[in-house]
Amino acid sequence: MITVYLTETSDIPQNAVEKAVTLLTVWRGNIVSKYKNGSAVKNGAFAYLLLKKLSLDIFGEFDDSPFTYGECGKPYFTKSKLFFSLSHCKTVVAAAVSEYEIGIDVADRREISLNIANRICSHAELERLDRTEDKQSYLLRLWCEKESLSKLSGKGYTEGFKIYDTTISPADSFTEYEKYALAVSGKGAENVKAVNIDWRELI
């Protein structure tokens, strides 16, 4: 089983964001402080604090060393043998930690242009989309699953979107909530425990 922590961020006030930044390690604080967008600062700070809480709660350890990065930019702990994945959208940040490679994605429930389908869908996915009545929900699922699969592989979209064909190898878990959707890929991710953490618990 994979535990995912989620924190809704839309109502976090600026003074709480500023406090969160002060709680970061020096290296993480330096990265977050360089963000010019206020939402990026908020997401960067709370995603890291959420990762720390999850790692301590589930595994009793947290590697606060600067992240190392794979060939295509996937972040890893430096000293710990654990793996992690982070994601954020306008409404929520999410974190997962596992003993195995893991990839997660959260995506806002919003209208998605159908034009994006030709860019991200395999031939089989386009055929399934054509037969699907609720095309918006299907596109949201496709986007979210492909993001989680790309993070699991560590390759991102260096080879394009279409290589992650969900008709052949879908994400291991996908759940739609009122405001967002969550996809999780990796060993053990067919059974996901999603836990909502109030932002106040992180600061």
Where do the domains of the chain lie? 2-202
Confidence grade of residue 16 (pLDDT, cut at 50, 70, 90)? very high
And the tokens for 45? 């700070």
3-state helix, strand, coil in the chain (%, to 5): 40, 25, 40
And the tokens for 198? 């109030």
Hey, which residues does 180 pair with through a beta bridge?
108
Confidence grade of residue 110 (pLDDT, cut at 50, 70, 90)? confident
Task: Tell which CATH architecture fits domain 2-202.
Answer: Alpha-Beta Complex (3.90)
DSSP state of 114: G
pLDDT at 61: 97
Burial of 29 (0-12, 13-18, 19+ CB in 10 A): middle
Pairwise pLDDT comparison (120 vs 65), residue with the higher score: 65
**Smallest Cα–Cα separation from 5: which of 55, 43, 77, 59?**
55
| Contact yes or no for 191/2 (Cβ under 8 A) | yes
Distance between CA atoms of 81 and 62, rounded to whole angstroms? Answer: 11
pLDDT at 113: 84
Average pLDDT over residues 166-179: 95
For the beta carbon of residue 137, count every other beta carbon within 10 angstroms: 14
For the beta carbon of residue 64, count every other beta carbon within 10 angstroms: 16
- Show the CA angle centred on residue 179, arms to residues 176 and 181, nearest 5°: 30
The pTM for the full model equals: 0.94
Confidence grade of residue 155 (pLDDT, cut at 50, 70, 90)? confident
